[in-house]
Amino acid sequence: MEVFAVLWREFIFFKRRFWKITTSAIMTPLLYLIAFGWGLGKDIVIEGATYMHFVMPGIIALSTMNTSFNAVAIRINISKLHEKSFEYYLTSPVNMSLLAFGHILAGAFRGMYAAFLIFLISFIFGIKIHIDFYFVLICFLNSFLFAAFGYGAALSIESHYDMNRFTTYVMTPMSFLCGTFFSLKNLPPVVKETIGILPLSHTSQSLRDIVLKGQFDHKSILALLIYAIGFYFFGVAMSYREMN
């Protein structure tokens, strides 16, 4: 019941702010495509493909990460620190595990919506990419795990300024280092292996392999699933911590 209640509330929120949410989800990926696609890499070939085809899966991975994280983290942050409405959940007879799952699932759907918008934009740029079941599954797992991370992060902080720590030290480095805009092949082995462990690296590389090669390393799905479960329980633990 808690899951459907949260999803319905978030749907109403999404419907009322449809155009604002849509334009904000489109703006950053569009700028990336113009700057890195048209401006920088129109005639560049990487790993046997044009740079536009190479960078598109990375942009999808990046956008699902940022959209799902921010969709949950900002909402929980405001309800906890500004509106003081999250404490009503803590004093009501709700299952915190289901409540967390509802918020995280809503954030994951926002991430998938962002991926859908970017897919439409790719056609405007004349980029046709291959999408199959695994492509959608990986996008969803990426959206879910970062929504879960955003949920736990928002509950773990004590002020609005603390959210900058997660953006500065986690989200921004992954945005630029996890193979989103460039190939990891030329990096030193130790650096490459370290970056390759990160969830966005699994997502970027898997989506790119599906688009360019039609196949990918299925171990990445297991890695993303482990991250998703781990971050989910992190969020649940932070929920119960707020109750104490």
Percentage with pLDDT > 90 across the chain:
44
- In this prediction, residues 181-196 reach a mean pLDDT of 88
For residue 150, what are the contacts with CB-CB under 8 A and spacing of at least 6?
A: 68, 69, 70, 71, 72, 73, 76, 107
- In degrees and rounded to multiples of 5, residue 130 shows phi and psi of -80, 125
Is residue 41's pLDDT more than 60? no
Each residue's pLDDT tens digit, 144-172: 999 999 999 998 887 777 778 888 889 99
Can you tell me whether residue 136 is helix, strand or coil? helix
Banded pLDDT at 103 (limits 50, 70, 90): very high
Q: What is the model's pLDDT at position 91?
A: 66
Locate the domains of the chain by residue range: 2-243
**Where does the pLDDT of residue 37 fall: very low under 50, low under 70, confident under 90, or very high at 90 and above?**
low
What is the tens place of the pLDDT at every residue in 57-82? 999 999 999 999 999 998 888 777 67
77 within 8 A of 160, measured Cβ to Cβ = yes
Return the exposure string of 180-207: e unless at least 16 CB atoms fall within 10 Å of the residue's CB, then b: bbbebeebeeeeeeebbebbbbbbbbbb
Please answer whether residues 167 and 89 qualify as being in contact, where contact means their C-beta atoms are separated by less than 8 angstroms: no
Q: Which residues contact 203 (CB under 8 A, 6 or more apart)?
A: 61, 64, 65, 138, 139, 141, 142, 178, 220, 224
What pLDDT is attached to residue 24?
A: 86
Sequence-ordered strand ranges (E) for the chain: 45-46, 49-50
| Average confidence (pLDDT) over 40-66 | 82
What pLDDT score was predicted for residue 38? 66
pTM of the complete model: 0.92
pLDDT of residue 87: 66
Is the Cβ–Cβ distance between 171 and 65 less than 8 Å? yes
Write down the pLDDT at residue 244. 65
State the average pLDDT over residues 191-198. Answer: 92
Query: For the chain, what is the mean pLDDT?
Result: 87
Please give the average per-residue pLDDT across 212-229, as a whole number.
94
Asked if residue 219 has pLDDT above 60, the reply is: yes
Rounded to whole angstroms, the Cα distance separating 111 from 125 reads 21
Q: What per-residue confidence (pLDDT) applies to 147?
A: 97
